[in-house]
Amino acid sequence: MKERFDIVVACDLKGGIGKNNAIPWRLPGDLKHFKNLTSSSTQAGLYNAVIMGRKTWESIPAQFRPLPDRYNVILTRNAAYQAPQGVFVRNSLDDALAWLEQGPVDQVFIIGGSEIYNQAIQHERVGLLYLTEVRQQFDCDTFFPDYKGFFQLVSSSEIQSENGIDYCFKVYKPNLLV
Ligand SMILES: NC(=O)c1ccc[n+]([C@@H]2O[C@H](COP(=O)([O-])OP(=O)(O)OC[C@H]3O[C@@H](n4cnc5c(N)ncnc54)[C@H](OP(=O)(O)O)[C@@H]3O)[C@@H](O)[C@H]2O)c1
């Protein structure tokens, strides 16, 4: 069977994930959670991979990209797109998944943005959805797709608070995943 990929997102109570190609809140605890989740490999010596849209890649401040200790894969339809050495460029989600499958890669995470999430949530290979629920409403121009019909809640953490913002970590699985 083909390997699954997981999805990681932080969204507000209306599904908002971004504004002006940036994340509208500052939650260091969520960034730490994201780093731990996407960096921790289940097999010694293997890296995980993160797949992201070109706009999400460009939204990461230059000093923080590529995301360390993970294979960074950018999706773009621009065949001439220039990425730094060691960063991989693919022209579709399926192309990226097929290409990663050939290499020594542990887990694969889809990390946004909205366009890529839209293609991922109903994909036949989708595994878990790791969703940080930011329990406020922000002014957003980019949204996570409506997922509730396809996923069921597996777990929810205690609510925590940072910078006056309450949030919690939720894990969902697709309805069809046993
Ligand atoms: N809160 C969160 O967890 C979170 C996570 C990630 C991102 N974000 C936010 O989301 C926003 C960015 O999301 P977005 O939807 O605007 O952009 P995006 O999904 O990051 O990137 C869109 C770009 O990806 C490429 N693309 C899309 N589908 C493709 C496909 N099937 N094959 C090849 N390339 C494909 C295209 O690049 P080309 O135009 O180059 O062809 C497209 O313009 C930002 O505000 C960011 O901060 C939030």
Distance CA 117, CA 143 (A): 9
Placement of tokens 């990226």 in the chain: 96
Query: How many domains does the chain divide into?
Result: 1
In a domain, 174, yes or no: no
From ligand 1's centre to the CA of 98, what distance in Å?
20
At residue 176 the predicted structure's pLDDT band, cuts being 50, 70 and 90, is confident
- Decide: pTM greater than 0.85: yes
CB 96 within 8 A of CB 72: no
Please indicate, yes or no, if residue 99 is contained in any of the structural domains: yes
Helix (H) or strand (E) holding 30: helix 28-39
Q: What per-residue confidence (pLDDT) applies to 178?
A: 56
Please indicate, yes or no, if residue 59 is contained in any of the structural domains: yes
What is the extent of the structural domain holding 121? 15-150
The per-residue pLDDT for range 39-79, each reduced to its tens digit, is: 999 898 999 999 999 999 999 999 999 999 999 999 999 99
36 in any annotated domain: yes
Where residue 80 sits, what CATH number does that domain have?
3.40.430.10
Helices (H), strands (E): how many in the chain? 4, 11
Q: Determine which residue's CA is closest to atom 24 belonging to ligand 1.
A: 53
Residue at 30 is within a domain: yes
The binding-site residues of ligand 1, defined as CB within 6 angstroms of any ligand atom, are 9-11, 17-18, 21-23, 52-56, 59, 75-78, 91-93, 111-116, 119, 142
Cβ-Cβ contacts under 8 Å for 71 (sequence gap 6 or more): 47, 48, 49, 50, 88, 100, 103, 105
147 close to 25: Cβ distance less than 8 angstroms = no
pLDDT of 114-163, one tens digit each? 999 999 998 999 999 999 999 999 999 999 999 999 999 999 999 999 99
The per-residue pLDDT for range 121-135, each reduced to its tens digit, is 989 999 999 999 999
Whether residue 67 is contained in a domain is answered as: yes
Would 100 be classed as within a structural domain? yes
83 domain-assigned: yes
Percentage of the chain lying above the pLDDT 90 cut: 93
Residue nearest to atom 10 of ligand 1 (CA): 113
